[in-house]
Amino acid sequence: MARCLIVDDSSVIRKVAKRILTSAEMMVTEAANGQEALDLSAHDMADVIIVDSSLPDMDSSDLVRRLMALPAEFKPYILLCLAELDLGAIMRAKRAGAQGYMLKPFTRSQLLEQFRMFQTAA
């Protein structure tokens, strides 16, 4: 079973994404900030991590860098989630280890397409 971690300070975004992604093949967990995501990932690294670009406690590219530095059997597939297109933020996150990005609000089909891309990359 694949595991996904959604890191966003908006409970609405987390709940919408969780509702879309939760299935027999996907277990979804949530974190409201970067530190919570690091704490969860230190014990159980998710296969896919969706990171909000504007977290309240740390820069998203710093979180991506710290997630990629955690000792784990594998490195997660990380997506940056942005409210508006910001090429600088996307490039910083990609240099830190993120593999892609998506804009919010996202639709069910957009989110599922990102996960199809993850499955083909895995």
Using pLDDT thresholds of 50, 70 and 90, give the confidence band for residue 2: confident
What per-residue confidence (pLDDT) applies to 120?
62
Is it the case that residue 45 has pLDDT exceeding 80? yes
What per-residue confidence (pLDDT) applies to 119?
66
pTM of the model as a whole: 0.91
**Overall average pLDDT of the 55-68 stretch:** 97
What per-residue confidence (pLDDT) applies to 114?
80
User: In whole angstroms, what is the distance from residue 95 CA to residue 92 CA?
Assistant: 5
**Overall average pLDDT of the 81-100 stretch:** 95
Taken in order 44, 118, 32, 11, is the CA torsion positive or negative? negative
User: In whole angstroms, what is the distance from residue 99 CA to residue 1 CA?
Assistant: 21
More confident residue, 107 or 61: 61
Is it the case that residue 68 has pLDDT exceeding 90? yes
Domains and CATH numbers, the chain: 2-113 (3.40.50.2300)
